[in-house]
Amino acid sequence: MANKLKSLSGIWVIVLALGVALGGYFIGDGIYRAMSGRTVTVKGLAERDVVADTAVWNIKINGVGGDLTILQNEIDNDIAEIHSFLTDAGFNESEIQNLRVQVRDKYAGYSDAELKSQNNDGRYVIDTGVMVRSDNVALVDSVSRKMGELVRRGITVTEDYSGPTYIF
Amino acid identity at 39: T
pLDDT for res 80: 96
Q: CA of 16: how far to CAs of 5, 11, 24, 27, 135, in Å?
A: 16, 8, 12, 16, 76
* Residue 112: predicted pLDDT: 60
What number of other Cβ atoms are within 10 A of residue 35's Cβ? Answer: 9
Element (H, E) at 124: strand 124-134
How many CB atoms sit inside 10 A of residue 61's CB? Answer: 21
Q: Residue 32's pLDDT is what? A: 76
Phi and psi torsions of 65, nearest 5°: -170, 170
What is the predicted pLDDT for the residue at 160?
A: 66
Q: How far apart are the first and last CA of the chain?
A: 89
Angle, vertex CA 153, rays to CA 149 and CA 154, nearest 5: 120
pLDDT tens digits in sequence order for the chain, 168 residues long: 556 656 667 777 788 888 888 888 888 887 777 766 666 667 777 777 878 889 999 999 999 998 899 999 999 999 999 999 999 999 999 999 999 999 998 777 666 655 565 666 778 899 999 999 999 999 999 999 998 899 899 998 886 667 898 888
> 70: closest CA among 7, 123, 13, 15?
123
Total residues found in the chain within this entry: 168
In this prediction, residue 82 carries a pLDDT of 95
Task: Count other Cβ atoms within 10 Å, centred on residue 44.
Answer: 4
pLDDT of residue 105: 85
Model pLDDT, residue 25: 85
**DSSP-derived secondary structure letter, 86:** H
